Amino acid sequence: MEGLLVIDIGNTNTVLGVFEGERLLCHWRISTLVERTLDEASVLLKELLLLEGISPDRIKGVSLSSVVPPLTPVFEEASKKLFGLQPLVIGPGIKTGMPILYENPVEVGSDRIVNAVAAYEQYKRELIVVDFGTATTFDYVTQKGEYLGGAIAPGIHISLEALFQRTSKLPRVQFAKPKGVIGRNTVWSIQAGIFYGYVGLVEEIVRRMASERKSKPFVVATGGLASLIASETKVINEVDEFLTLKGLRILYERNLKR
């Protein structure tokens, strides 16, 4: 479909993109501000589009995933105001094409379902999606394309910030791959603990999930820090920076045909 705007509102960042058919024309990553008003959201969407030379009247559909409830109606109304369109909001009642085997399906974050749908559509096999967002999530999809469940851990930036805030003498540091695991100064030591700690976290959870299922799942990673972690481990088979945006497009098309 021409001119599909996709919006993924996360706790830390909001990622947006415009698809023309299956082709991602452009994308943006902005800070998530809970206090953002309807007028601000409308101006923001318009300016981002115009920055890429896209007139708002080219947008013929909007697909929205949000884990920040106060911002969902803000971007819904902004879409109506700017494009005259009611967005598809990912949540209970929409057609996903994927059975959700969680004990209470309503509890599953919309971004996790979007990622699972996108990954299964692309690979058509048993898989794990690892998303390095505000939280680090692991989502398991069966060979039949069922969302089985997963695991949730604190995100990398949350861990770094907690270390800074809850200790008296440790500094706030930037997340980066250190020169080695034995740090020779405090910044290096923190980076080593967080970086290799998360590599170990990913490897162990993937190993245990595979063992529990007695399978060899394909592992797809997404999120801003996916490439950095993937560079240090062999358990991640593929990194797809735009997995969530692709899933929003797929779900829009599935529901358009209802």
Contact 42, 82 (CB under 8 A): yes
Give me the helices (H) in the chain, please: 38-51, 71-83, 110-123, 156-165, 186-213, 226-230, 243-256
Contact 148, 119 (CB under 8 A): no
**Averaged pLDDT, 14-35:** 96
CA 32/CA 206 separation, integer angstroms? 30
Share of the chain above pLDDT 90, in %: 97
**Averaged pLDDT, 195-201:** 98
CA 83/CA 62 separation, integer angstroms? 9
- Residue among 8, 57, 111, 240 flagged as catalytic: 111
CATH architecture of 4-89: 2-Layer Sandwich (3.30)
The 10s digit of each residue's pLDDT in 64-120 is 999 999 999 999 999 999 999 999 999 988 999 999 999 999 999 999 999 999 999
The 10s digit of each residue's pLDDT in 112-124 is 999 999 999 999 9
* Spatial CA neighbour of 159 closest among 183, 190, 118: 190
Query: According to the model, what pLDDT value does residue 135 have?
Result: 95
Instruction: List, in sequence order, every residue forming a beta bridge with 128; answer none if it has no partner.
Output: 140, 219
Is the per-residue pLDDT at 29 higher than 50? Answer: yes
The 10s digit of each residue's pLDDT in 164-173 is 999 999 999 9
Query: According to the model, what pLDDT value does residue 257 have?
Result: 63
CATH architecture of 105-246: 2-Layer Sandwich (3.30)
**Averaged pLDDT, 206-235:** 96
* Spatial CA neighbour of 150 closest among 134, 170, 136: 136
CA 61/CA 2 separation, integer angstroms? 8
Query: According to the model, what pLDDT value does residue 156 have?
Result: 96
Judge whether 111 counts as a catalytic residue.
yes
Query: According to the model, what pLDDT value does residue 258 have?
Result: 52
Query: According to the model, what pLDDT value does residue 33 have?
Result: 96
What is the location of CATH 3.30.420.40 in the chain? 4-89, 105-246
* Spatial CA neighbour of 121 closest among 97, 99, 88: 97
